[in-house]
Structure 1
Amino acid sequence: MLKPSGLDIFLFRSLRTERPTIAALIEDEVALIGTTQDSLFFHGDWTVVDCGFPIPADLPFPNWKVGIDGELRTTNYDGDRHWPMEPSEIELLDFKFSAAPKAFQAALQALNGIGEWLPRYERLTVAYAKRRVTRALEN
């Protein structure tokens, strides 16, 4: 999903040397999710598999914290709705962030045994995002 704030992507766990079929992707696990830039697409290092691929129903869209008029508030994933922040959300939620495409690539490789898993990759995982969905019904 391309937005002014960046490119929202999800990456499947499996590494592939050839273009996968949609059926193969549906069977795969979504491992990483987040906002990034398009540089690896632009330079041909990554390819778009399918622009119309259905977003998995269990894909988490975390809430974020945002400062408005000097007050911390909770916002939905897109940032177009916000509410007073609950005390439990203050430390849990992040301000919206993005990661470089190379960070996603390194994290995916590390998940597949190529390179070292670094603690900073945790923020790119689906499990991390799921823990930060505090207002799913309000998104």
Structure 2
Amino acid sequence: MKAYIKLEGDVTGEDSFYFKELTNLIERECDLSVKIEGIESQPGVKGSLAIVLNIASLTLTTIQTLFTTLQYWESKQRNGELELKYSVFVVVYTRTFKERLLLKNLSAEKVIELQEIIRQHQLQPSLEDEYIEVQILKQR
């Protein structure tokens, strides 16, 4: 299963920095390979701005770890470790199912339910992509 983590809105260098921190956290905690997609930064700023993280091989067992890692990263806002504030949404797509949830409201029971739905869909051959999309929106 694939997963995409998208930073939505006007991305700044600071947003990109926090997003790259999230990348490192996912690679370390979930033991996943993460590909960063970026856009060109504004004139006078070095490098590109990270806006999308692609995870190509997310297994059922790593879904729980990914959600826990995202919840930890999001909790750093409440602890004052992140200066900017973000809302994080999780969207699960399968052939017959789509659900969008606010990450901070995602219970362990709901994660288990989502894993079971995904597992059931993976047992049936499908030409359609089934994936998880995480949307990170900057709060104003």
TM range (shorter): under 0.3
Larger RCO: Structure 1 or Structure 2 (Cα < 8 Å, ≥ 6 residues apart)? 2
Tell me the TM-score normalised to structure 2 length. 0.22
| Length-normalised TM-score, structure 1 | 0.23
Q: Which has the higher helix share?
A: 2
